[in-house]
Structure 1
Amino acid sequence: MIRSDAATRRLVAWLLAFVGAWTALSVWLYPTPPIDNVEQLVWREALAWGYYKHPPLPTWLLAAASPAWPATPLLTYALSAGSMVLTLLLFHATVRRLLGRGDALLAVLGALCLTYATDRLPIYNHNVVMLPLIAGTLSLLWRVTERPRVRTWAAIGVLLGLGMLAKYQMALVALCMLAWWVRIGGWRSPAHRRGLALAVFLATLVFAPHLLWLAHADWAPLSYASDSSLGAHLPLADRPAHVLLWVADWMGNRLAPAWVLVFSVAGMLGCSRARAVHPPGSAPGRLKRDFLLLAGFGPMAIMASLCLAGGIFLQMKWSTAFALWTLPAVLVLLPRRWRLGDAAPPPATWWLWVALQAALFFYTLRMSEVSARGPMDTGGWKQRDFAVLARTITGETDRVDLINGPYGMAGMLARHLPGRPRVLIDGQLARSPWLSAIDLEKGRIISVWPTCHPPAEASALAPGWAWWPHPAPPPLDPRYRAAEDRLRRAAQHSGGTAVVACP
């Protein structure tokens, strides 16, 4: 799927330098890792076929890498960076076969202007792990289109199964695969018929243990999703406006820096080729065009349809794993003389790309300064100094074995307390498979929780947070029950990043 030539080796070196620079910037700016990284570090305490919020693959990868490197935030940064490099290499190789070397390089340059390749690069979560699996699936899907082979279909099935173990959104890619099988008339080819059946079988086989776990766990991740987005049930009249806003965010907000680059280069090419300075690139065939349109807009169309028909609430971040492929989908729609094809980008492309990176760099610096002013406010999570917060606990107790609380707050406190106490997420053993009832009986437990009205015997941890040396937070005060219950629910859902606004 990825060529082993001098150009590819240069691309690998360049991508490694790029992700290394942005990761180093994040380590320098922020004392605390992203909340998703903390979640994975907490879950790594026990390997399971699933966790109460998500499938298990990201946690498995973190655990597998731990013997080679300590399970620290730096390891999660390395895994995220590696995932992005692999994704972009597969992306480049696929677009190169479909549109040519120049357009593939331009698409990669555009992708490197997106937030999850720059200031959000260190985030390690299920979207990040799904990215290379999507890229690998699409690469193989085009390969099997050019040369039908059952073994290629088998590899597609394995990647789809692994993708479902990363995040259930991989089902959108599976639906796009089925649509493509119909588009190429797969029923007419014995290799495609047998291959599709084998792909479905292998994907199901890979996913089956997690499916059994889901049934045993009372479908906990699906219940979590239902409580947030899938169960929102937007009113029928509100759905079109919500879809339009979501699509506008995908196309106009998430991809904005990339569009500046892509359309600037298109304008340069259009002007120069109007003067016959450069010949236009060859037009891609209809099959290539349809493939890129399906990859770039298929998941968007499916999710929009689910909202219009079922009323699910579309989260803006759901574009993360798919927005990358919107770039070549738009490129293939441009007039021939606006595309690079196999030609090298104009020299001004690189200067414009550097200018965009500089703008993103200074924007990141500015946002870090703003968040540092209010680490307990919205967007301030990564500026919280948990070493200082942990000292407020060690100054009052000599030993902590377990911390009960939201996974983010409890997880980061545990990393800074002596002996690295384990985390009891939200006081629930079902959410903490690394613990047993015996651990709760024998260990010394403290609890942390958000509150605007702490009891007299509790100790202040941070503005809006308290702790005490007991296995659970205090019962809700009847005078403030509704408000305090909302604070606790918000903290459980966000891991502790939610703002605690006290009157």
Structure 2
Amino acid sequence: MSSVLPPFKFVLPILGVFILLRLVFWLNTFPNPDEAYYWLWGQHLALSYYDHPPLQAWIQGAFTALFGRSHFVLRLPNLISNIVFFSVYYQIAKYLYGREANRFFGLIVLLVLASPLYFLFLALAWHDHLLITCSLIALFLFIQFLDGYSRDGQGISWQLYGSAIALGLAGLSKYNALFVALGMLSAIASHPQWRPLLRDRRLYLAGVMAALMLLPILLWNLGNDFQSFRYYVNRSGDSGAGGLRLKWGEPLVFLLVSILTVSPFNVWAMIQAIQRPNPQPNSAYRTVALWTFAVSTVLLTAIACVSTALYYWNITAYLLLFSLMPAVFLPKDRPTSNIQHPTSNIFHQALFFSGQFYGLLFALLLVIHYSLFPLSALGSPDGDPDSRMLFGWDEVGKAVMAEAAKSATPPFFVTTDYRSASALAYQLPQPDVMAIADRIDQFDFWLDANALKGRHAVILSDDWHPVEPKLAAQFQHLSEPVTIPVTRFGYWIKNYYVQIGDRFNPKPNPL
């Protein structure tokens, strides 16, 4: 048997299963609470938002205005970004491997999809699919510019400026695009041949272009007491009165969860790929890939030592490494290599297929968990409340409207948490649903309490976020709650509660 993995014989069937699972998820799964939250942002267009930059919201607003509201339209931007994302990988494969690009590209696609991190975050209508697509474009254009600069000392300016624009769009998607920028600057500073760029006015013009792309975020924060910036400074803080304290276990948790979500098989292949020569000996690709990975990973590990670092914050770190990994499983044909190392090649093939099985199993469980039944409900009766919120919204929406019909005057709709408010707004659909909760969220910027004063409300709550005395005190009277139990296949998932609140008398907005 051949010890070189024949690509298309295996790529197409595995790819077909991944695509099928992705389509089932996109077309049938009720929006994750944060997907509905960001969709709702698009119905309240603004320069930026409290939790994240605005690009995802702008796109959701435009697509809803053009095509209406549906699961397909909600995730249509994901489909487009996925096409662009993998098209860039194809261009990278051609750039690195020339005429062998097709067989290498097929494995790049499978290695990315077999990573639970990327299968999930490319599928969800969150900000991350835009972040990684724009970041990959920015990095590839930057590498091409550096390669040109290495050849003639000048480079092609539009590639640098195009990289800056793509990086600005990544920043408009999510703030951790900063790690990509730092990786690029570190690559320049590390290489004697590229250091003269630090005195090149084009580099600073590119920086200005990227910064100008972020102007909406700055303007929004200027008008809102820098709330978004303060949120990100404070959200992971854990200094307390005694100052910062080292958390020795947190970095290990961050790294372990990162390995599991990227896939242990992919991590092994990344380590092997890093140790191999550059596919294009004179290209900046490997250097930029290593700096992009190292800067982000080291900084987030350091943050984890004193605060909180979440595994998906590092999602841009691995992007360029995927294009180096196929050589580990699919080495270029060498007449002697198959004779000298047949066992090694078979071992690599076994690892490749093990990694694909790992990714397919995760993807299947993800689709079941999000679309059919929350698997966590088989364990703790109240565990994983986020996933439980994916179910029952048809029944909840009908119950809410039934209670609203009992009111003599049109009520407004309010829930006790941003997640339930977003899901209810999507289900009805009713963009004016409000959330009144202890934590600050985007709803606090929309709430016009004086306009609602004296009106009746339909209040939706659950056991995770019940009607607290602080909320109840803002109504003259609350009716007895109507319980809406949510079940799937005979298993209880959760209860929602609907009740009427009379004559809203709001407390001061925390903002």
What's the TM-score, normalizing by structure 1? Answer: 0.73
1:445 to 439, 448, 457: 457
Find out whether 1:182 has 2:189 as its counterpart: yes
- Check conservation: 1:110, 1:261, Cα contact below 8 A: no
Q: What's 1:459 paired with?
A: 481
Q: For 2:433, what is the secondary structure of its paired residue?
A: strand
Q: 1: distance between equivalents of 2:47 and 2:89?
A: 29
Are residues 69 and 421 of structure 1, via their aligned partners in 2, closer, same or farther at CA, if it must alter by over 3 Å?
closer
Q: Within 5 Å, which residues of 2 pair with 1:306-345? A: 306-308=303-305, 311-328=306-323, 331=325, 338=328, 340=330
Q: Within 5 Å, which residues of 2 pair with 1:200-219? A: 200-219=207-226
Q: 2: distance between equivalents of 1:154 and 1:281?
A: 25
Once the two structures are overlaid, the 10-residue window that deviates more, 131-140 or 428-437, is 428-437
Q: What's 1:4 paired with?
A: none
Q: 1: distance between equivalents of 2:183 and 2:441?
A: 38
What is the letter of the counterpart of residue 322 of structure 1? A
What is the letter of the counterpart of residue 74 of structure 1? F
Find out whether 1:77 has 2:75 as its counterpart: yes
Q: 2: distance between equivalents of 1:26 and 1:366?
A: 9
1:155 to 162, 182, 195: 162
Q: For 1:403, what is the secondary structure of its paired residue?
A: strand
Q: 2: distance between equivalents of 1:92 and 1:447?
A: 50
Superimposed CA distance per residue, residues 116-143 of structure 1 (whole angstroms, 9 cap, x where no aligned partner): 4445543111222101111011011101
1:291 to 284, 288, 292: 288
1:406 to 417, 420, 441: 417
- Check conservation: 1:158, 1:206, Cα contact below 8 A: yes
Find out whether 1:370 has 2:387 as its counterpart: no
- Check conservation: 1:451, 1:465, Cα contact below 8 A: no
1:228 to 228, 235, 242: 235
Q: What's 2:201 paired with?
A: 194
Are residues 239 and 467 of structure 1, via their aligned partners in 2, closer, same or farther at CA, if it must alter by over 3 Å?
same
- Check conservation: 2:90, 2:105, Cα contact below 8 A: yes
Q: For 2:185, what is the secondary structure of its paired residue?
A: helix
Q: What's 1:110 paired with?
A: 111
Give 5+ residue unaligned stretches, structure 1.
1-12, 271-279, 477-488, 490-503
Give the share of equivalent positions with the same residue, in percent.
Answer: 17
Q: 1: distance between equivalents of 2:112 and 2:207?
A: 31
Find out whether 1:424 has 2:434 as its counterpart: yes
Once the two structures are overlaid, the 10-residue window that deviates more, 234-243 or 163-172, is 234-243
- Check conservation: 2:479, 2:499, Cα contact below 8 A: yes
Q: For 1:414, what is the secondary structure of its paired residue?
A: helix
State the Cα RMSD in Å: 4.3
Q: What's 1:481 paired with?
A: none
Q: For 1:448, what is the secondary structure of its paired residue?
A: strand
Are residues 40 and 369 of structure 1, via their aligned partners in 2, closer, same or farther at CA, if it must alter by over 3 Å?
closer
Are residues 134 and 58 of structure 1, via their aligned partners in 2, closer, same or farther at CA, if it must alter by over 3 Å?
same
Q: For 1:469, what is the secondary structure of its paired residue?
A: strand
What's the TM-score, normalizing by structure 2? Answer: 0.72
- Check conservation: 2:38, 2:126, Cα contact below 8 A: yes
Deviation for aligned residue 1:352: 6.0
Once the two structures are overlaid, the 10-residue window that deviates more, 17-26 or 125-134, is 17-26
Deviation for aligned residue 1:401: 3.9
- Check conservation: 2:397, 2:424, Cα contact below 8 A: yes
Are residues 365 and 166 of structure 1, via their aligned partners in 2, closer, same or farther at CA, if it must alter by over 3 Å?
closer
- Check conservation: 1:58, 1:166, Cα contact below 8 A: yes
Q: Within 5 Å, which residues of 2 pair with 1:84-163? A: 84-98=82-96, 101=101, 102-118=103-119, 121-147=122-148, 148-163=155-170
Are residues 474 and 400 of structure 1, via their aligned partners in 2, closer, same or farther at CA, if it must alter by over 3 Å?
closer
Q: For 1:66, what is the secondary structure of its paired residue?
A: helix
Are residues 253 and 206 of structure 1, via their aligned partners in 2, closer, same or farther at CA, if it must alter by over 3 Å?
closer
Once the two structures are overlaid, the 10-residue window that deviates more, 71-80 or 347-356, is 347-356
